[in-house]
Amino acid sequence: MDQLLLGLTSITLKQVVMYIIGGALIYLAIVKEYEPTLLLPIGFGAILVNIPFSSAIDQVSGGAVQPGALSLLFNAGIITELFPLLIFLAVGAMIDFTPLLQNPVMLFFGAAAQFGIFFTMCLATLCGFSLKEAASIGIIGAADGPTSIYVATRFAKNLLGPISVAAYSYMSLVPIIQPPVIKALTTHEERCIKMEYRPEGVSKTTKVLFPIIVTFIAGIVAPSSVSLIGFLMFGNLIRECGVLNGLSKTAQNELANLVTILLGITIGSTMTADKFLQPRTLMILGIGLLAFVFDTAGGVIFVKILNLFLKKKINPMIGAAGISAFPMSARVIHKMGQKEDPSNFLLMHAVGANVAGQIGSVIAGGLILALIK
């Protein structure tokens, strides 16, 4: 009987807190539909690993390590960086770069909206984090979950849990975080600026050459980014080549779903009470939120500065779509534009900037990996 009750009597207060956190993540995933594909497995994983003597993670028994399934997955898929890279492959197969190729100036908004990463990195160092930890926290602002996980795996494995939770939670909160920041930085007249949309045809050759050339250039400038950008662009090449439709569909569906299940629950396995319930976790969540705010602000302010020199003004809200949260950010900007003026259609411009944000965040991640040794 004592043996059966051992688990129950071994539950600590910290573990109870983790059950509540895990439950909250599952609630947000199911009821609020905030990034359910990741928050639900992360939440469940958090509960799983905080059950006393959980066989899901490695346990030391009689001096010998009993391997746990989630620990094995962590070592095989996260430590090796395999899971985030496979997610990149799937994302690449899902992205249509056409709106960006039709209007390549949007690329610059994808760069400007990465400002928050660098601002947050500096801020995090002032809060006592090491440079590598600060860089991993800053990447939360890229609104790009796989890049956050990839950089954290290289630089701050101990912070992987809180960084992943922050990255995916805030990505799902884009409709709540972005509008007030945009409104604070723009006037009604600016938000009503209409932009002409002239769709131009993009040849198949351009669509096929684009991922190859981007990988090559990014690889030459920052070799550390080759696997990040390479897997993203490989997925896109499969999509655009026109002869691998079966592989493209598999990457977009089966591969994405399988890896997402494994990635989510494995990330959850890093959320053991002793590692997660620390003041640093709260700091990461707070600083991560600031990263999102400053990314949005960076994009908006960049467009406002550009507008000082342009005859045909750009709607500053488009700058905010330069973050990587695709397609949520583009939808938010379009809705905001419609609210200000129902005859204003910003969707295609916002999608172009949003797709550029995908490239921008990966380049930013690669540069950070290259610049910090």
Partner 1 sequence: MNDVFLQALKVSGYGLIGIFAVIAIFYFVIKLLLKIFPGD
Token readout for 302 is: 């960049």
Number of residues that bind partner 1 (CB under 8 A): 46
| Angle made by CA atoms 132, 134, 139, in degrees to the nearest 5 | 100
Question: Binding to partner 1 by residue 326, rule CB under 8 A?
Answer: no
Between 72 and 127, CB nearer to partner 1 = 127
Smallest separation, CB 103 to partner 1 (Å): 10
Which one of 189, 205, 279, 311 is in contact with partner 1 (CB under 8 A)?
205
Residue 35 sits at the vertex; the CA angle it makes with 53 and 332, to the nearest 5 degrees, is 155
Query: How big is the CA angle at 363 (ends 304 and 81), to the nearest 5 degrees?
Result: 140
Nearer to partner 1 (CB atom), residue 83 or residue 302: 302
When the beta carbons of 139 and 262 are compared against partner 1, the nearer one is 139
Is there binding between residue 202 and partner 1 (CB under 8 A)? yes
Angle 351-352-356 (CA atoms, 0-180°, nearest 5)? Answer: 110
299-327 burial, b for 16+ CB within 10 Å, e for fewer?
bbbbbbebbeeeeebbbbbbbbbbbbbbb
User: Which amino acid appears at position 145 of this protein?
Assistant: G
Q: Using CB under 8 A as the criterion, what x/- string covers residues 104-123 for binding partner 1?
A: xx-xx-xx--xx-xxx-xx-
Binders in 261-320 for partner 1, by CB under 8 A: none
Q: Does 135 bind partner 1 (CB under 8 A)?
A: yes
Query: Which segment (49-57, 102-110, 173-181, 344-352) binds partner 1 by CB under 8 A?
Result: 102-110
Other beta carbons less than 10 A from residue 132's beta carbon: 17
227 is a contact residue toward partner 1 (CB under 8 A): no
- Within 13 A of 284's CA, how many CA atoms are on the CB side? 29
> Between 114 and 269, whose beta carbon lies closer to partner 1?
114
CA distance 265 to 15: 17
Q: Site residues (CB under 8 A) for partner 1?
A: 100-101, 104-105, 107-108, 110-111, 114-115, 117-119, 121-122, 124-126, 130-131, 134-135, 200-206, 209-210, 213-214, 217-218, 221-222, 356, 359-360, 363-364, 367-368, 371-372
